[in-house]
C-alpha cells in the first residue's frame, strides 16, 4: 500500500499566509502547471440520479408502502400433531404467522389447506383466537383414508375457501396487510474560507495550513461531497446518539441488511454460488435484470469463474439495455445466466483501498451488491391510478426552494459582499436519502 | 494378571449428560431433538411497520433479515484428523455440506463421487429464514456444517476472523435465565412492599423519587422501580451507602448541618461548631464514603444525625 495516497494531516482551522515567496522576494513564482486528478470511479447512485431515479421529498422523513407477503398465504404448525385417518387434529399457529399484536392469523372456518410437505389437503373446521400469539385451529382431511398429521414447522398452504358446497354462506374477509417503510433525508455539508491574503496569491496559497490552489480547493470540495454522498448513501445508518437532534439516514446496505437477502460463500462458483443467488432471487419474484456492484476481489472471482465454467465466458453484450447503453460506457459488462441479465461492474466505493487508501482488508473488500433493475408498479393514493416507481430511488430536499446542491458565499469578498471580515467563504450543503422499493429483492453476497 | 478393582455402586445411577455428538456421528440420533440457531444481528430500526396507518408504535415484524444464507463449504479445523501417518492429530480440512452424504469432509466424499447436480443442489443451501434455522439432530452433517462454521458464535477453533453471525439457542439455559429473572423480579417487589418507611426513603432518594409526597405515593413509585429494574433495585437495596447519603442529604436539607457557612467545613448549625473538614466539593459523597470507610468523625456525625432525623 503506497503511503502517498493517504492524505496529509489536516491542520487547525485558521488561515495563514503560505510562504512560497521568500523573504528576499527574489523568486517570483507565476508559472503553474495543470493539476492532475488521478482517481476516478463509477458513481452508481449518481448514474441512477442521471437516469431520473430520484424523488423530491417535501419532508425529512420519507415513507412508502409495500404489500406484505404474497397474494397466496400459508401458516406453519407450531408443533407436531398426529391424527388418525379421516380424523380432525388441532394445530397451533406457529410464530411469525400473526399480525395485529397476535390477535389475527390466517386460518378461518371453511378454508382448505394443502400441506407443502405431505401434499395432504385438509379443511379448517374450527378456529380459536382467544389467546394472542397462541391461536389454534382444527383441520380434517378431505379424504377419509388420509391422516392430517403435521410436523413442527410444517407449512400449510391456504387454498382459500374452496369446495364450499351448495348454498354456501358468506366467508370471512381476509385482508391483505400493507407494510410501511420509512427513511430520512440527512445533511452533508462542506465549508471553505479563503482570506484576502490567500486570494492575493492566486497561484498557491495556504488554506487551513494546507498547500492548495484557489479553484482546486472548491473543485475538491465538490468532488469530495459528491463521493461522500455516494459512500454515505451506501453505508449510512439511522443515529440515536448524536449530541443534537438528527435522525440520520439508512443507506442502501443497511436497508438490504434489514429487509433484503444475504448470501455468504467461501468460494465463488458459477454453478454453485451464482445458482444459489439465482434461486434466492427467484424465490422472491426478482426481475430479469440486475446490476451487480462488486468490490475488486469478488469481481475478479466472478470473472474467473464465469470464464472457466461457461463456454466463451458467457455472452458479453455490446450495447443495449433499458438504460440506453450507458452501462457499457460506465464500465458495466453484461451476461445472461439462468434467463437473467446481470450487469457486472467493479464498484470502487466498496474498495476502501481504492477510495481511501486504506488497507483494503475490511469486510467490504469481499462484498457484492445485487440491485434489481427497472421499475415496479403499484396503486396510487386514490387507489385507482397506477404508479410506476424506480426500484432504486434517491430522495432529496430543496430547503427553502434552494438548489439540490445548495451553495452560497459569505464574507466581505463574497459575490454579494456581506460582513466586515476581509475573506470569502464557500458553503455547500445537500439533503439526501435513499429508498429501496422491494428491498427483499436486493441481495448482498460476502466471500468468507 | 493385573487385578481390576471393582467400582462400587450401581453403574446405572451414574449421572449422564446428553450432548450432541458433533464430531463423531456415532450416537443414535434423536429424531425429534431440534437445534435452533438464531442470527445475532437485528434491525428493528430499519424494519417496516405493519398495518395500522399512523401508529408509529405499532407492531414490528421479525427484527431479523428475512433470508440469510451462511457458507456451506470452506476450511475448518478437525481436531481428530491425522493428516499423515505419524503426525499429531489435528489439521485444517476442506469441508462441503452435501445433502444426503454421510460426511462433510471433501476428502471422504469419494464413494460415491458427488455429481455436479448434487453439488449444485438447493438442499445444500443453509438459509436462516426470519433469523431462525432449525436443524434436527438426525441431520448430523448439517449440524456439523453449521457448528464448525467460522461465523458460528460457538465455533471451537475458527480459522478466520469472521464476525459472529449466529448462535445456538440453548433452551434449558433460556428457561433458567427467564426463571431467574422472574425470581429476581419477585424478590425485588417483595422487598419494595415490605421495606420500612426509613428503608424506602433512603432508596427512594437514590432512585430520584420525590420525597415531598405521601407515603402511599412514594411506595407506588418505589414498587414500580423494583418491577422495572429488579437487578439494580436489589443491589441498591442492600447498599448501606444509600442510607448514609439519605441521612446526610436530609440533614443538609433540614439545615441541621451546613457545608456553606464556612467553605471546606461541615457545621452543626445549632451548635455552631465545625464537625468535619471537607477535602472535596461533594459533601454528601465524601461524608457517606467516609462512613463506609469506618472514619470515626463522620460515623459519629452520621449516628447523631440519624437519631435526630429518624427518632
Q: What is the DSSP letter of A425?
A: E
Residues of A in contact with B52 (CB under 8 A): 100
Give one DSSP letter per residue of chain B, joined into a string.
-PPPPPPPS-GGGS-------TTT--SPPPTT-EEEEEES---GGGS-EESSTT-TTS-B--SS-SEEEEPSEEEEEETT--SSTTPPS-EEEEEE--TT-S--BGGGTTSSPPPHHHHT-GGG-EEEETTEEEEETT-HHHHHHHHSSTTBTT-SS-SS-PPP-EEEE-HHHHHHHHHHHHHHHHHHHHHHHH--HHHHHHHHHHTT--SSS-HHHHHHHHHHHHHH-HHHHHHHHT-HHHHHHHHHHHHHHTTSEESSSSTTEEEETTTTEEEEE-SSS-HHHHHHHHHHTT-HHHHHHHHHHHHHHH-
pLDDT at A214: 67
pLDDT at A312: 57
Residues of B in contact with A255 (CB under 8 A): 46
- Whether A111 and A73 have beta carbons less than 8 Å apart is answered as no
User: A259 vs B71: CB contact, 8 Å cut-off?
Assistant: no
Between CA A287 and CA B61 the distance in angstroms is 25
Residues of A in contact with B137 (CB under 8 A): none
**Beta bridge partners of residue A122, listed in sequence order:** A113, A141
Do A282 and A349 lie in one domain? The reply is yes
Closest CB to B151 among A152, A271, A448: A448
Nearest CA in chain B to A261: B67
Q: Does B119 touch chain A (CB under 8 A)?
A: yes
Q: Does A151 touch chain B (CB under 8 A)?
A: no
Do A266 and A341 lie in one domain? The reply is yes
What is the count of structural domains for chain A? 2
pLDDT above 80: residue B114: yes
Of the candidates A176, A164, A174, A170, which has an alpha carbon nearest to the alpha carbon of residue A112?
Answer: A164
Closest CB to A266 among B49, B74, B134: B74
Do A215 and A94 lie in one domain? The reply is no
pLDDT above 90: residue B273: no
In a domain, A402, yes or no: yes
User: B43 vs A263: CB contact, 8 Å cut-off?
Assistant: no
Q: Does A2 touch chain B (CB under 8 A)?
A: no
Nearest CA in chain B to A179: B50
**C-alpha count within 13 angstroms, C-beta hemisphere, residue B100:** 11
**What φ, ψ does residue B85 adopt, rounded to 5°?**
-60, 130
Q: Does A448 touch chain B (CB under 8 A)?
A: yes
DSSP H helices in A236-351: 252-259, 275-283, 296-309, 326-329
Do A402 and A317 lie in one domain? The reply is yes
Residues of A in contact with B67 (CB under 8 A): 261-262, 280, 283-284, 440
Do A212 and A309 lie in one domain? The reply is yes
Q: What is the DSSP letter of A85?
A: B
Q: Does B173 touch chain A (CB under 8 A)?
A: no
In a domain, A430, yes or no: yes
In a domain, A22, yes or no: no
Do A92 and A143 lie in one domain? The reply is yes
Do A330 and A397 lie in one domain? The reply is yes
Q: Does B34 touch chain A (CB under 8 A)?
A: yes
Residues of B in contact with A150 (CB under 8 A): none
Closest CB to B47 among A259, A262, A266: A259
In a domain, A278, yes or no: yes
Rank A59-68, A117-126, A367-376, B84-93 by mean pLDDT and report only the highest: A117-126
Tell me the per-residue pLDDT of A351-373, one tens digit each, with 9 for 90 and over: 888 888 888 888 889 999 999 98
Nearest CA in chain B to A251: B46
Q: What is the DSSP letter of A77?
A: B
Counting other chains too, the contacts that A122-127 makes at CB distance below 8 Å and 24 or more residues apart are A122/A148, A122/A156, A123/A163, A125/A88, A126/A90
Q: How far is B79 from chain A (nearest CA, A)?
A: 21
- Whether B22 and B143 have beta carbons less than 8 Å apart is answered as yes
User: A266 vs B71: CB contact, 8 Å cut-off?
Assistant: yes
Tell me the per-residue pLDDT of A112-169, one tens digit each, with 9 for 90 and over: 999 999 999 999 999 999 998 899 999 999 999 999 999 988 999 999 999 999 999 9
Take residue A349 and report the three cell numbers written for it: 466505493
Model ipTM value: 0.80
The 10 Å Cβ neighbour count of residue B199 is: 17
Q: What is the mean pLDDT of chain A?
A: 83
Take residue B79 and report the three cell numbers written for it: 481436531
In a domain, A6, yes or no: no
Interface test with B, best of A65, A183, A272 (most B CBs within 10 A): A272
Do A141 and A216 lie in one domain? The reply is no
pTM: 0.73
**What φ, ψ does residue A225 adopt, rounded to 5°?**
-65, -40
Residues of B in contact with A154 (CB under 8 A): none
**Between residues A336 and A349, which one has the greater pLDDT?**
A349
In a domain, A32, yes or no: no
pLDDT above 90: residue A442: yes
* Residue keyed to cell 449444485: B120
- Whether B168 and B135 have beta carbons less than 8 Å apart is answered as no
Do A140 and A186 lie in one domain? The reply is no
Of the candidates A156, A157, A155, A171, which has an alpha carbon nearest to the alpha carbon of residue A72?
Answer: A157
For residue A285, the domain's CATH number is 3.90.1690
Tell me the per-residue pLDDT of A25-52, one tens digit each, with 9 for 90 and over: 444 444 445 556 666 677 888 888 888 8
Domain boundary among A142, A160, A175: A175
Closest CB to A101 among B49, B59, B68: B59
Tell me the per-residue pLDDT of B19-75, one tens digit each, with 9 for 90 and over: 444 544 455 666 667 889 999 999 988 888 765 544 433 345 678 999 999 999 999
A235 to A265, A350, A364: CA distances (angstroms):
22, 10, 10
In a domain, A113, yes or no: yes
Q: How far is A202 from chain B (nearest CA, A)?
A: 49
User: A257 vs B65: CB contact, 8 Å cut-off?
Assistant: yes
Chains A, B: CB contacts under 8 A, how many?
104
Residues of B in contact with A279 (CB under 8 A): 122, 125
Tell me the per-residue pLDDT of B136-195, one tens digit each, with 9 for 90 and over: 888 889 999 999 999 999 898 899 888 899 999 887 787 788 888 888 888 888 888 988
User: B50 vs A178: CB contact, 8 Å cut-off?
Assistant: yes
pLDDT at A217: 74
Do A182 and A102 lie in one domain? The reply is no
Domain boundary among A136, A159, A175: A175
Do A187 and A293 lie in one domain? The reply is yes
User: B68 vs A261: CB contact, 8 Å cut-off?
Assistant: yes
Q: How far is B140 from chain A (nearest CA, A)?
A: 19
Do A434 and A390 lie in one domain? The reply is yes
In a domain, A225, yes or no: yes
Q: How far is A293 from chain B (nearest CA, A)?
A: 19
Residues of B in contact with A181 (CB under 8 A): 48
Domain boundary among A175, A204, A223: A175
- Whether B237 and B223 have beta carbons less than 8 Å apart is answered as no
Range of the domain at A291: 41-71+178-448
Amino acid at each position: 500500500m503506497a503511503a502517498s495516497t493517504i492524505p496529509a494531516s489536516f491542520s487547525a482551522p485558521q488561515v495563514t499566509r503560505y510562504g512560497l515567496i521568500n523573504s528576499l522576494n527574489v523568486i517570483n513564482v507565476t508559472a503553474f502547471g495543470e493539476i492532475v486528478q488521478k482517481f476516478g470511479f463509477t458513481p452508481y447512485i449518481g448514474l441512477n440520479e442521471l437516469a431520473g431515479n430520484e424523488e423530491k421529498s417535501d419532508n425529512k422523513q420519507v415513507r412508502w408502502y409495500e404489500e406484505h407477503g404474497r397474494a397466496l398465504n400459508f401458516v406453519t404448525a407450531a408443533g407436531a400433531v398426529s391424527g388418525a385417518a379421516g380424523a380432525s387434529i388441532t394445530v397451533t399457529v406457529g410464530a411469525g404467522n400473526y399480525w395485529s399484536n397476535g390477535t389475527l392469523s390466517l386460518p378461518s372456518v371453511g378454508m382448505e389447506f394443502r400441506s407443502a410437505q405431505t401434499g395432504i389437503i385438509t379443511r379448517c373446521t374450527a378456529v380459536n383466537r382467544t389467546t394472542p400469539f397462541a391461536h389454534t385451529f382444527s383441520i380434517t382431511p378431505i379424504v377419509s383414508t388420509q391422516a392430517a398429521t403435521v410436523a413442527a414447522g410444517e407449512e400449510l398452504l391456504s387454498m382459500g375457501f374452496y369446495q364450499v358446497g351448495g348454498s354456501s354462506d358468506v366467508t370471512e374477509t381476509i385482508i391483505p396487510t400493507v407494510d410501511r417503510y420509512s427513511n430520512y433525508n440527512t445533511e452533508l455539508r462542506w465549508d471553505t474560507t479563503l482570506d484576502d491574503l490567500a486570494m492575493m496569491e492566486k497561484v498557491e496559497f495556504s488554506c487551513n495550513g494546507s498547500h492548495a490552489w484557489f479553484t482546486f480547493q472548491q473543485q475538491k470540495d465538490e468532488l469530495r461531497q459528491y463521493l461522500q454522498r455516494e459512500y454515505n448513501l451506501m453505508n449510512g445508518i439511522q443515529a440515536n446518539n448524536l449530541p443534537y437532534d438528527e435522525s440520520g439516514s439508512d443507506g442502501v446496505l443497511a436497508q438490504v441488511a434489514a429487509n433484503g437477502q444475504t448470501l455468504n460463500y467461501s468460494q465463488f462458483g458459477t454453478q454453485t454460488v451464482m445458482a444459489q443467488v439465482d434461486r434466492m432471487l427467484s424465490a422472491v419474484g426478482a426481475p430479469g435484470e440486475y446490476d451487480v456492484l462488486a468490490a475488486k476481489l469478488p469481481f475478479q472471482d466472478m470473472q474467473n469463474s464465469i470464464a472457466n465454467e461457461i463456454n466463451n465466458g458467457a455472452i458479453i453484450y455490446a450495447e443495449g439495455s433499458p438504460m440506453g447503453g450507458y452501462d457499457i460506457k460506465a464500465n458495466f459488462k453484461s451476461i445472461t445466466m439462468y434467463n437473467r441479465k446481470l450487469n457486472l461492474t467493479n464498484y470502487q466505493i466498496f474498495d476502501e483501498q481504492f477510495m481511501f487508501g486504506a488497507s483494503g482488508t475490511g469486510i467490504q473488500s469481499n462484498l457484492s451488491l445485487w440491485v434489481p433493475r427497472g421499475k415496479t408498479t403499484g396503486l396510487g393514493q386514490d387507489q385507482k391510478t397506477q404508479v410506476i416507481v424506480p426500484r432504486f430511488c434517491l430522495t432529496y430536499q430543496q430547503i427553502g426552494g434552494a438548489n439540490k446542491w445548495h451553495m452560497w458565499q459569505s464574507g466581505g469578498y463574497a459575490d454579494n459582499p456581506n460582513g466586515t471580515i476581509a475573506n470569502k467563504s464557500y458553503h455547500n450543503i445537500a439533503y439526501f436519502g435513499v429508498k429501496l422499493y422491494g428491498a427483499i429483492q436486493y441481495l448482498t453476497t460476502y466471500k468468507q | 494378571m493385573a487385578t481390576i478393582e471393582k467400582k462400587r455402586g450401581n453403574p446405572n445411577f451414574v449421572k449422564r449428560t446428553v450432548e450432541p455428538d458433533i464430531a463423531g456421528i456415532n450416537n443414535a440420533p434423536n429424531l425429534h431433538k431440534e437445534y435452533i440457531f438464531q442470527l445475532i444481528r437485528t434491525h428493528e430500526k430499519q424494519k417496516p411497520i405493519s398495518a395500522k396507518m399512523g401508529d408509529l408504535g405499532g407492531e414490528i415484524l421479525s427484527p431479523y433479515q428475512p433470508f440469510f444464507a451462511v457458507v456451506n463449504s470452506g476450511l475448518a479445523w478437525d481436531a481428530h484428523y491425522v493428516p499423515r501417518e505419524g503426525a499429531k492429530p489435528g489439521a485444517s480440512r476442506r469441508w462441503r455440506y452435501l445433502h444426503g452424504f454421510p460426511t462433510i469432509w471433501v476428502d471422504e466424499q469419494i464413494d460415491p463421487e458427488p455429481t455436479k447436480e448434487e453439488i449444485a443442489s438447493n438442499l445444500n443451501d443453509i438459509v436462516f429464514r426470519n433469523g431462525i434455522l432449525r436443524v434436527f439432530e438426525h441431520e448430523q452433517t448439517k449440524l456439523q456444517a453449521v457448528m464448525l462454521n467460522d461465523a458460528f458464535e460457538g465455533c471451537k477453533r475458527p480459522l478466520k476472523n469472521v464476525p459472529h453471525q449466529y448462535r445456538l439457542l440453548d433452551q434449558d439455559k433460556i428457561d433458567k435465565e427467564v426463571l431467574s429473572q422472574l425470581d429476581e423480579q419477585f424478590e425485588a417487589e417483595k422487598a419494595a412492599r415490605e421495606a420500612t418507611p426509613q428503608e424506602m426513603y433512603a432508596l427512594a432518594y437514590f432512585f430520584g423519587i420525590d420525597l415531598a409526597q405521601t407515603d402511599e405515593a412514594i411506595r407506588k413509585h418505589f414498587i414500580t422501580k423494583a418491577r422495572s429494574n429488579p437487578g439494580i433495585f436489589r443491589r441498591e437495596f442492600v447498599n448501606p451507602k444509600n442510607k448514609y447519603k439519605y441521612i446526610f442529604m436530609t440533614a443538609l436539607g433540614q439545615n441541621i448541618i451546613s457545608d456553606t457557612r464556612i467553605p471546606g467545613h461541615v457545621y452543626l448549625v445549632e451548635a455552631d461548631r465545625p464537625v468535619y473538614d471537607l477535602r472535596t466539593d461533594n459533601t454528601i459523597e465524601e461524608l457517606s464514603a467516609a462512613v463506609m470507610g469506618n472514619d470515626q468523625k463522620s460515623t459519629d456525625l452520621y449516628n447523631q444525625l440519624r437519631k435526630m432525623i429518624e427518632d
